[in-house]
Chain A
């Protein structure tokens, strides 16, 4: 089932949670709503589920108007951030709930319910926990039961609110891969909310980056990472060095504008080269710190008053043999410049350079 979101706005008192949101989610896609807390992503998810009513705008499911459809009738599977498992029911009864509350005519027989629930518990690999209570499960198990419960009613859309937020790193990574596989097997549309960029980039087909109730960018994980549409997206997705024109006396840009303006350049730490001798467009700096972190080595340079963060591969670091206090030269391989209006002033093809 496809979802179309048309001009959705929502306020809570004076706080604008969503400001004229438009978004299309085609059938079968796994979409991440990514943004900092308070950006409106959860509100948008709850509006899609029918838990919250938008002040303006429409929601269409498979092209049909669904704005005023009750949550009960939307056929949406919702996985809550804190799972919202029914604490006084066993795992089995939790999963069976959606089947048991169906009107008598549509309700499956007890045997069918049993078969269906055990099938779902098998799918989430927790059939051995059927008689436990939610309080006896680990976080990752609760998460999977919540998912099985949502899937029991055969929803057309699966909505997940911060699905991995409350789990530790190792479990989180496992569950990510598992969710991806599950989504591919179930052939449904899924939307999940996250504030973790790594999670969004790894799992989703498409990432919707949100901030202050607006959509900043929609694109594939690669697109939003390598060509961010705004300074916000640049800073939210990964580490970045920010160079202000004031500090460096302006940029020599490939595309010159007539009016000189204030601009900001963004450079990812792994897009910076370091050398011992000066080279074309290189800038001088002093090595402040060298931290080997797992597969990479993070180097902090001091250039004039600025601290510049550089990430080198271990091989490159071996070759350079940097020492603290050393004078070196650095040069961005790739960067992006934004004007004061937050619009890009450069493209990946036409690289500006600093001097």
Chain B
């Protein structure tokens, strides 16, 4: 941002604003982030490694990864389908559909967990049938997957809808007028154009899927070694006053968050580069 004297705050105001803003970020973001790692290493490196070797911690890590892997394909498929229908076609009720897609963002995670208990729990609508057929959803992994699906539902669609709207229909129409079939058009034109946006949505959805606490907590039943994801395991260890164990597990999640931030920044930078390239002033004709 270029600024000049006419549109600049006085020096002391700039200093004050910078100090206030950065101070706020330091106390509310920087300090907690550092604290996670300091607390995890409070008893030294060996204790940290020992805490991570714990079998329950390891099974929590695997369950966390498993849930994310189960959830993402569905949400990718949904995100692409919803964005395709919404961005490239006109139909009645479009804005209602967009609002409904946003709905899980506004619903409390606890409520998100509760609704699946009401459907599949012992007193739920399908509870008796599930019990009779010996299918476990609540207090088991399928319920946790459902709750995570609900929570991460909007992420990919929310990224793709504006992206595909801004790209318009021209390239797809050009492909069709050149004789491409529907799948040829999708794989050769549409998907390459949205790949960064899709990746961005996947990164956000993955971070949320791995880090979700409230919704998963309600449906998990907290069965150690079986239905404990890493965030739930952090809670258990913390409540047992095992600070090093809790923060060691938390440090893995914090690392995941940092990786997410880096990946997100890289993808943002790629996307910005592509839009900048498309918007560059055209060089004069050489003839």
Within 8 Å CB of A150, what residues of B? Answer: 177-178
Q: Quote the shortest CB–CB distance from A140 to chain B (angstroms).
A: 4
B contact patch SS: helix
Note all chain A residues with C-beta closer than 8 A to B184.
Answer: 101
A87 to B163, CA, bound (A): 14
Across the interface, which residues of A come within 8 angstroms of B287, CB to CB? Answer: 140, 174
A134 to B146 CA separation, bound complex (whole angstroms): 44
Q: Kindly specify which of B123-131, B186-194, B222-230 makes contact with the partner chain.
A: B186-194
Answer whether A140 and B179 are a contact pair too, CB < 8 Å, given A80-B173, A84-B173, A101-B188: no
A98 interface residue (CB < 8 Å to B): yes
Most-contacted residue by chain A among B178, B189, B283 (CB, 10 A): B178
Closest chain A CB from B91 CB (angstroms): 14
Instruction: Choose, from B59-67, B80-88, B274-282, the stretch at the interface.
Output: B274-282
Contact yes or no, A88 B173, CB < 8 A: no
Stretch among A71-79, A285-293, A301-309 lining the B interface? A71-79
Q: Give 1 or 0 for each of B46-71: 1 = CB within 8 Å of chain A CB.
A: 00000000000000000000000000
Residue numbers in B under 8 Å from A77 (CB-CB): 177
Contact with A along B229-250 (1 / 0, CB 8 A): 0000000000000000000000
Which residues of chain A come closer than 8 Å to B280, judged between CB atoms? 135
Is A51 a contact partner of B171 (Cβ separation < 8 A)?
no
> A153's contact among B179, B193, B283, B286, by CB below 8 Å, is which?
B179
Inter-subunit contact B177/A97 (CB<8 Å): no
User: What's the least CB distance linking B215 to chain A, in Å?
Assistant: 37
A257 near B: Cβ within 8 Å? Answer: no
A101, B286: Cβ atoms under 8 Å? no
User: Does A138 lie within 8 Å of B285, measured CB to CB?
Assistant: yes
Give chain A residues whose Cβ lies under 8 Å from the Cβ of B177.
49-51, 71-72, 74, 76-78, 150
Query: Taking the nearest CB of chain B, how far is it from the CB of A59, in angstroms?
Result: 15
Kindly provide the distance from the CB of B197 to the nearest chain A CB, expressed in whole angstroms.
Answer: 13
A353 at the interface (CB under 8 A from B): no
Q: Are A138 and B284 in contact (CB under 8 A)?
A: yes
* Interface residue total, chain A, C-beta cutoff 8 A: 36
Q: Is A171 an interface residue (CB 8 A)?
A: yes
Q: Is B181 an interface residue (CB 8 A)?
A: yes
Interfacial residues of chain A within 301-337, with CB under 8 A of chain B in the complex? none
Instruction: Indicate if A149 sits at the interface (CB-CB under 8 A).
Output: yes
B33 an interface residue at 8 Å Cβ cutoff? Answer: no
- B interface size (C-beta, 8 A): 26
Expressed in whole angstroms, the Cα–Cα distance for A73 and B284 within the complex equals 37
- Residue on A nearest B283 in the bound complex, by CB: A138
**Roughly how many angstroms separate A74 CA and B179 CA in the complex, as a whole number?**
9
Q: Check if A72 sits within 8 Å of B277, measured CB to CB.
A: no
A115 contacts the other chain (CB 8 A): no
* A101-B188, A153-B179 as given contacts; A84 in contact with B285, CB under 8 Å: no
Expressed in whole angstroms, the Cα–Cα distance for A139 and B174 within the complex equals: 18
* B274 contact set on A, CB distance < 8 A: 87
User: Are the CB atoms of A78 and B174 closer together than 8 Å?
Assistant: yes
- Check B175 for interface membership: any CB of A closer than 8 A: yes
Q: Pick the residue among A101, A137, A141 that contacts B181 (CB under 8 A).
A: A101
Question: CA separation between A82 and B167, bound complex, in Å?
Answer: 12
Q: Tell me, in angstroms, the Cα distance from A140 to B176 when the chains sit together.
A: 24
- Say yes or no: is B134 at the interface (Cβ < 8 Å to chain A): no
Most buried by B among A73, A84, A141: A84
Q: Are B285 and A153 in contact (CB under 8 A)?
A: no
A102 within 8 A of B: yes
B180 at the binding interface (Cβ < 8 Å): yes
Query: Is the pair B175, A101 in contact by a Cβ cutoff of 8 Å?
Result: yes
What are 17 of the A-B contact pairs (CB < 8 Å)? A49-B177, A50-B177, A51-B173, A71-B176, A77-B177, A84-B173, A84-B174, A85-B174, A86-B192, A87-B274, A98-B178, A101-B178, A101-B179, A138-B285, A139-B282, A153-B179, A170-B285
Q: Which 8 A-B pairs have the closest CB atoms?
A: A84-B170, A98-B178, A135-B277, A101-B180, A84-B174, A88-B192, A140-B285, A139-B282
Residues of B within 8 A of A (CB): 170-171, 173-181, 184, 188-189, 192-193, 274, 277-278, 280, 282-287
Given contacts A50-B177, A86-B174, A149-B178, 14 further A-B contacts (CB under 8 A): A71-B173, A73-B179, A78-B173, A80-B170, A82-B170, A84-B171, A86-B189, A87-B274, A89-B192, A97-B175, A101-B181, A138-B282, A153-B178, A174-B287
